[in-house]
């Protein structure tokens, strides 16, 4: 990891999008079988740099992170083709949609979203971390915006484009998201959210 990445992931406003998230993603990647050494290296780079820039007030974090990856990887002596592919993968984490034949993209997106399919306690810790990162947003506006974002995941045909992740995590992710939305909407109506689990 470069000094710039080290500093980025140590920024005090990060509660979920921190080095712990990167390390969790790398651990998940380590358990993926059937990758060539080159594909694994591309995914490792994409994981390291995909949240290199994370400012909740701006809409272009992924684009700026992708450019940073290209510059840093070039400085590390990686070929332009590697830096460009890493940048392409990072850009997929903005909308979390990939084409059907994009295995590396499907893996990166699925790994990035693995937390959605965690146990309820892990999911709640993730959601609380995101809320802290958006602490500058008033509660009603946050609830409405967060509910819209999470509803988009529920409305998608699949959350996890990679088949093995889908088989393992899709059902639990949908249950977690539905529970969070119910809490957000219930809180908006003055109703206590349901207890986790």
CB 118 within 8 A of CB 126: yes
Tell me the per-residue pLDDT of 140-155, one tens digit each, with 9 for 90 and over. 999 999 999 999 999 9
| Domain segments of the chain as ranges | 1-112, 115-197
CA end-to-end span of the chain, whole Å?
37
Can you tell me the mean pLDDT for 174-184? 97
Identify the DSSP state of 26: H
Tell me the per-residue pLDDT of 75-110, one tens digit each, with 9 for 90 and over. 999 999 999 999 999 999 999 999 999 999 999 999
Using pLDDT thresholds of 50, 70 and 90, give the confidence band for residue 4. Answer: confident
């Amino acid at each position: 990891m470069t000094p710039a990445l080290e500093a980025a992931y140590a920024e005090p406003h990060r509660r979920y999008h921190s080095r712990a998230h990167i390390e969790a993603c790398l651990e998940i990647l380590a358990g993926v079988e059937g990758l060539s050494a080159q594909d694994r290296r591309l995914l490792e780079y994409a994981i390291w740099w995909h949240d290199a820039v994370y400012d909740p007030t701006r809409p272009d974090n992924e684009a700026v992170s992708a450019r940073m990856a290209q510059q840093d990887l070039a400085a590390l002596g990686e070929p332009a083709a590697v830096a460009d592919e890493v940048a392409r993968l990072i850009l997929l984490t903005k909308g979390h949609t990939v084409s059907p034949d994009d295995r590396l993209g499907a893996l990166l997106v699925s790994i990035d979203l693995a937390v959605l399919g965690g146990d309820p306690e892990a999911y709640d810790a993730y959601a609380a971390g995101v809320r802290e990162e958006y602490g500058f947003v008033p509660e009603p506006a946050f609830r409405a915006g967060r509910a819209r974002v999470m509803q988009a995941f529920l409305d998608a045909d699949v959350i996890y484009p990679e088949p093995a992740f889908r088989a393992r995590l899709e059902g639990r992710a949908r249950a977690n998201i539905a529970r969070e939305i119910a809490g957000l909407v219930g809180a908006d109506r003055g109703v206590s959210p349901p207890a986790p689990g």
